[in-house]
């Protein structure tokens, strides 16, 4: 299944893709739908056309967003670091998230705005200290994130969070795709970033150092994971900050972060007024 949260004149709604329509799932957003146990859809459920749908973040108000740094071997090498023994974790917040087609508004405070395509794990049920089987069972599906990074703020200190949590800067969506459509909970999918049509990143999620099941196990050991929580699994090589010379988003570009089988976030970069 492909699931989403869309904006309507009456507010956001959780929906399921069915052909050329989106079927209402009876909840305000996917987070609420997953928390309710993903109930069956009513036979007379409302529908909305796919064409022109206004996609909100797939889960607009997750209880937490956990991001993983340095999880593709090629990206670790381009950043000049050693392969980590454990996942490198940092937080993001719901206020950072925007829809898959919303504009990326470049903050006036930065001249070092960068792109990062990421596979995102969407949690479907509460889990703590998960076994491998429990971790896989807790994965409701996967989606796409562009972990837009404010590099000059990120590297002001050794701790990255201040470069990752900027308000309304992180596209996520458009759909959550369930594991049965992707070959399971450890999918091997092509990930790509283009900027104005030029390929900047390209890799395969099968090369993740720490795969989705491992990450759910590891993170749930530290903190409970709730329905609708998001785990961004890291970005591959090709970020602008690692290029020589460095390349950043200045405004006016179109950035497309796509993952095979999931879809794409396509966002215009605009300067903050």
Q: Mean pLDDT across the stretch 56-70?
A: 96
* 104-106 β-sheet, strand order: 104-106, 263-271, 254-259, 190-195, 198-204
For residue 74, pLDDT beyond 80: no
Would you state the pLDDT for residue 43? 87
Beta bridge partners of 89: 68
Q: Mean pLDDT across the stretch 209-219?
A: 97
Provide, rounded to the nearest whole percent, the portion of the chain with pLDDT above 70.
100
The C-alpha atoms of residue 91 and residue 99 are separated, in whole angstroms, by: 19
Q: Mean pLDDT across the stretch 230-243?
A: 95
Reported confidence tier of residue 262, pLDDT bands at 50, 70, 90: very high
For residue 32, pLDDT beyond 90: yes
**Would you list the DSSP string of 215-272?**
HHHHHHHHS-B-TT-EEE----S--GGGSSS---B-SS-EEEEEETTTEEEEEEEEE-
Reported confidence tier of residue 76, pLDDT bands at 50, 70, 90: confident
Closest CA to 75 of 185, 188, 213, 207: 207
The C-alpha atoms of residue 145 and residue 264 are separated, in whole angstroms, by: 9
Beta bridge partners of 254: 268
103-160 pLDDT, tens digit each:
999 999 999 999 999 999 999 999 999 999 999 999 999 999 999 999 999 999 999 9
SS3 category, 75: helix
Residues ≥6 apart with Cβ < 8 Å to 124: 34, 38, 138, 139, 140, 141, 227
Would you state the pLDDT for residue 81? 80
**Domains, the chain, ordered by start:** 1-56 (2.30.30), 59-271 (3.90.850.10)
Would you state the pLDDT for residue 80? 79
Residues ≥6 apart with Cβ < 8 Å to 44: none
The C-alpha atoms of residue 255 and residue 115 are separated, in whole angstroms, by: 8
For residue 42, pLDDT beyond 80: yes
Would you state the pLDDT for residue 246? 97
Q: What is the largest CA-CA distance in the chain?
A: 57
Would you state the pLDDT for residue 272? 85
Would you state the pLDDT for residue 73? 83
Would you state the pLDDT for residue 75? 76
Q: Mean pLDDT across the stretch 164-186?
A: 97
The C-alpha atoms of residue 194 and residue 179 are separated, in whole angstroms, by: 26
Residues ≥6 apart with Cβ < 8 Å to 73: 83, 207, 209
Would you state the pLDDT for residue 196? 98
Would you state the pLDDT for residue 83? 85
Using the structure block, give the residue that is written with the tokens 């196990």.
217
The C-alpha atoms of residue 36 and residue 271 are separated, in whole angstroms, by: 39
User: Beta strand pairing status for 11-18 and 21-24?
Assistant: antiparallel
- Please state the φ and ψ torsions of residue 90, each to the nearest 5 degrees: -150, 160
Contact 33, 14 (CB under 8 A): yes
Would you state the pLDDT for residue 224? 98
Six-digit token string for 202: 């390209």
Return mean pLDDT, the chain. 96
For residue 78, pLDDT beyond 80: no
For residue 82, pLDDT beyond 90: no
């Amino acid at each position: 299944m492909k699931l989403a949260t869309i904006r309507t004149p009456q507010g956001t709604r959780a929906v399921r893709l069915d052909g050329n329509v989106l079927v209402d799932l009876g909840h305000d957003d996917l987070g609420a739908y997953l928390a309710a146990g993903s109930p069956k859809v009513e036979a007379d459920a409302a529908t909305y056309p796919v064409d022109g749908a206004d996609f909100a973040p797939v889960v607009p108000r997750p209880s937490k967003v956990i991001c993983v740094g340095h999880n593709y071997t090629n990206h670790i090498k381009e950043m000049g670091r050693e392969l980590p023994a454990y996942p490198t974790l940092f937080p993001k917040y719901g206020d950072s998230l925007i829809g898959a087609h919303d504009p990326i508004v470049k903050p006036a405070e930065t001249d070092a705005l960068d792109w990062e395509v990421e596979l995102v794990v969407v949690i479907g049920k509460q889990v703590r200290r998960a076994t491998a089987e429990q971790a896989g069972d807790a994965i409701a599906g996967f989606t796409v994130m562009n972990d837009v990074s404010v590099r000059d703020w990120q590297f002001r200190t050794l701790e990255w969070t201040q470069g990752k949590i900027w308000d309304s800067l992180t596209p996520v969506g458009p759909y959550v795709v369930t594991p049965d459509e992707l070959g399971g909970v450890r999918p091997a999918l092509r990930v790509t970033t283009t900027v104005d049509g030029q390929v900047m990143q390209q890799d395969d999620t099968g090369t993740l150092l720490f795969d989705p099941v491992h990450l759910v196990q590891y993170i749930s050991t530290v903190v409970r994971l709730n329905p609708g929580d998001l785990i961004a699994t890291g970005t591959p090589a090709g970020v602008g900050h690692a290029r020589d010379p460095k390349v950043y988003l200045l405004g006016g570009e179109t950035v497309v972060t796509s993952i095979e089988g999931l879809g794409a976030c396509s966002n215009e970069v605009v300067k903050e007024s």
